[in-house]
Chains A and B, each alone.
Chain A
Amino acid sequence: MKIRILMLSSLILLPLELFAQSPEEKGLAIAVEADKRDTGWNDIKTELSMVLRNRQGQESKRRMRSKILEVEGDGDKSLIVFDYPRDIKNTAFLSYTHALKADDQWLYLPALKRVKRISSNNKSGPFMGSEFAYEDISSQEVEKYKYKFIKDDQINGRDAFVIERYPQYKHSGYTRQIAWVDKEMYQPLKIIFYDRKDSLLKELVFIGYKQYLGKFWRPLKLEMVNKQNGKSTTLEYRDYQFKTGLTDKNFNRNTLKRTR
């Protein structure tokens, strides 16, 4: 009897409890909703270019092509082939990402025709010498972080949730991140990164969101500024293609050797 009363009271209390969601619950709910809305794209092909700038303003360019396969219940699979600079042309990077354990990563070195399985403790390391770390550009699973809702805010005239998230992966380079999540798109507009000593490290701004297949929002441009060393990287995406029919077979060691 006691149990039934308890259940009944909890039913009555339910709407109230939603209202009185803790900041942690609200933060998680936003992340879950963002994940739900961005599920079902199957695969994406896109071209990327990066411009790396050092403190003196010297620029260095990178060009690459990327294929991503959505994996239900795990991190995505991705294949990146480099086009520029020319000395790393056709070098390919295959990665099976995971939320909490180390990713599986293979590097194909075309000059030696060698496929190397590489250590994947480097999620916090720079991607191609840029200000982006591997963990910044790999798939964003809900389990990767714990969350806390901070406040509602406006950014460039758009309504946003501000949430703080705490990486759960032990080799992450960050203690926390503050993300401005657009209330309409459920996509980040800005992220501020704090390093392992909890000092401000980087600021990332997402520019030029477009909607694909009437559902999936993707930015055209990401601007990352390192507040500690004065370097910055602009990452631009071109020619997004969704649901192109890629399967597991496009993400194995063998195809790595013939990817161009």
Chain B
Amino acid sequence: MSSCHKPLQLLVLLFASLLFLQQAGAGEWSGYLGVEGRTFFNDPTDPRQKGDNLSFVAQPEYYTDWDNGNQSLLFVPFVRLDQNDPERSHADIRELIWLKASDNWELRTGIGKVYWGVAEAQHLVDIINQTDLIEGPDGEEKLGQPMINLSLLREWGTVDFFILPGFRERTFPGRKGRLRSVPGIDPNNALYESSRKELHVDWALRWSHIIGDWDIGLSYFDGTSRDPRFVPSVNSSGETLFVPFYDQIQQTGLDVQVTKEGWLWKLEAINRRGMGETYNAFTAGFEYTIVGTLDSQADLGLISEYLYDDRGINAITLFQNDLMLGTRLTLNDEQSTEFLLGIITDMDETSERSYFIEASRRIGDRWKLNLELRIFSLQNPVSPFYALRNDDYLQLELFRYF
């Protein structure tokens, strides 16, 4: 299931299967087409990296159900065509999943997507799906994961069993792409701890429950780490690149949210074994919402999250002792206008910061405009993210929904 680098072939395949499904009958099509423009404010760190970029994206969705809605099939293909980075031109099956549901259980079989957790700044507990990192540096986009998932719905909570056959490698920007490490990542020669490589079958277990104001989740994962480590390596043309190395890990996760009127208190914590030394990490914080700010209909949310990783500055993460402060403005207007502003600061070296603004607004009933601005203030040459220092960008996306 490694990501495909022949988007045109995949596109043809996609449309053929879409047509087939439409012939098959009773389902329903929806989805979106989008165009994305990115402009970078500085010259790239590596002269081979390109500047301003245009990109097209499509994500149709086919849904059909039968058996009184107790069985359904969902198909969500995805394709992006990118002006400058051939790696970013990629396709994926986000979902192709059959659901069978009963009163007390649900069975999902196919390629699916699962989200665990409560925090905003990072998603420590969320581990089922691989990150489609080439889509955006925030890592919010995920690749489809082959799975068999049985959910048991009980009075004392929901228990989910997962069997995850087939591992997806993380996607990374290519040689010409921005927002990558320097040297870049070699996407074709990933290394694995397991001799079965990407065929290793992972499994996971989760219990989740609501007790009054508390939403609680406890999870366990055993299998191939979604986060790689990186090994410097020289390829056949003599170029130094980082090769991703995927360990076998065991991860225990806890996520809790306590909702008290305007306050959301959040905690995500993990213990991970198998990636070198055993380590712990957590995200803890709150979101407080002021309803009807300044006599208007807008809601103002104040967000603060502290991010900790006990590997300290050796952590292959930006977030070993960091603070995220953010504010969310929801206008509650007809266009569903929203703004999210934030700053993430390294508490060890407060000069290491990143700023972001995300905004979105519907236009008419069928269009949507998204804006994203990211500024990296990084001065420490030892940091693995130092390479992003010249990649401040402004991004506009226009989507047409159908």
Residue positions of A touching B, CB distance < 8 A:
52, 54, 60-61, 84-89, 102, 104, 112-122, 124-126, 129, 171, 173, 249, 252-254, 258, 260
Q: How large is the interface on B (under 10, 10 to 19, 20 to 34, 35 or more residues)?
A: 35 or more
Q: Would A85 and B362 be within 8 Å (CB), given that A114-B115, A117-B257, A119-B261 are in contact?
A: yes
Residue of A whose beta carbon sits closest to that of B214? A117
Given A85-B362, A119-B264, the answer on whether A129 and B115 have CB atoms closer than 8 Å is: no
Binds A, one of B37-45, B315-323, B331-339: B331-339
Question: CA A190 – CA B329 in complex, angstroms?
Answer: 34
Contact partner of B30 among A86, A119, A121, A253, CB < 8 A? A86
| B267-295 to A contact mask, C-beta < 8 Å, 1/0 | 00000000000000000000101011000
User: Contact: A258 with B299, CB < 8 Å?
Assistant: no
- For A85, the closest partner residue in chain B by CB is B365
Q: State whether A113 touches B114 (Cβ < 8 A).
A: yes
Q: Which residues of A contact B113 (CB under 8 A)?
A: 113
Pick from A86, A87, A104, A125: contact of B297, CB below 8 A: A125
A121 and B158 contacting across the interface, CB-CB below 8 Å = no
List 4 A-B pairs, minimum CB-CB distance, nearest first: A86-B401, A129-B334, A113-B115, A119-B289
The B interface is mostly helix, strand or loop, or mixed, namely strand
A-B contact pairs, 14 of them (CB 8 A): A85-B401, A86-B401, A89-B30, A89-B401, A113-B113, A115-B115, A118-B259, A119-B261, A119-B262, A119-B263, A125-B332, A171-B291, A253-B210, A260-B63
Give chain B nearest CB distance to A117 CB in angstroms: 5
CB of B46 closer than 8 Å to a CB of A: no
Say yes or no: B299 contacts A125, CB within 8 Å.
yes
Interface residue B66 (Cβ < 8 Å from any Cβ of A):
no
Contact B292 A124 (CB under 8 A): yes
Partner of A249, one of B103, B213, B215: B103
CA distance A118 to B287 in the complex (A): 10
Does B99 reach chain A (CB closer than 8 Å)? yes
Q: Are B292 and A173 in contact (CB under 8 A)?
A: yes
Checking A124, A171, A249, A260 against B153 with a beta-carbon cut-off of 8 angstroms, the contacting residue is A249
Say whether B227 faces chain A, with CB atoms less than 8 Å apart. Answer: no
A254 x B262 contact (CB < 8 A): no
CB pair B291–A121 under 8 Å, yes or no, is yes
Question: Which residue from chain A places its CB closest to the CB of B160 in the assembled complex?
Answer: A254
A84, A112, A115, A122: the one contacting B299 at CB < 8 Å is A122
A-B contact count (CB 8 A): 95
Taking a contact as CB atoms closer than 8 A, the residue among B72, B291, B368 that contacts A87 in the complex is B368
Contact B115 A117 (CB under 8 A): no
Contact A258 B72 (CB under 8 A): yes
Closest to B257 in A: A117
Question: Complex: how many Å from CA A122 to CA B289?
Answer: 9
Contact digits for B196-233, partner A, Cβ 8 Å, 1 yes 0 no: 00000000000010100101000000000000000000
- Expressed in whole angstroms, the Cα–Cα distance for A116 and B292 within the complex equals 21
- Docked-complex contact B399 and A87, CB < 8 angstroms: yes
Tell me which residues across on chain B come within 8 A of A120, comparing CB atoms. Answer: 259, 261
Closest to B335 in A: A129
Given contacts A173-B292, A253-B208, A254-B151, contact A260 B158 (CB under 8 A): no
On whether the beta carbons of A126 and B297 are closer than 8 Å, the reply is yes
Additional 6 contacts, C-beta under 8 A, given A126-B297, A249-B153? A60-B365, A61-B365, A85-B365, A121-B261, A252-B153, A258-B72
Distance of A255 from chain B, by nearest CB (Å): 8
Q: Within the assembled complex, what's the spacing in Å between the Cα atoms of A182 and B72?
A: 44
Q: For the complex, is B366 an interface residue (Cβ under 8 Å from A)?
A: yes
Nearest CB on B from A157, distance (A): 35
Cross-interface CB contact of A253 among B65, B158, B297, cutoff 8 Å = B158
Q: Is the CB of A122 within 8 A of B291?
A: yes
Residues of A within 8 A of B334 (CB): 52, 54, 60, 129
> Which residues of the partner chain A approach B336 to less than 8 Å between Cβ atoms?
87-88, 129
Q: Are A86 and B114 in contact (CB under 8 A)?
A: no
A258 is contacted by which of B106, B118, B140, B366 (Cβ under 8 Å)?
B106
Complex interface: chain B residues within 8 A of A102 (CB)? 261
B69 at the interface (CB under 8 A from A): yes
- Is B15 among interface residues, defined by CB-CB distance under 8 A? no
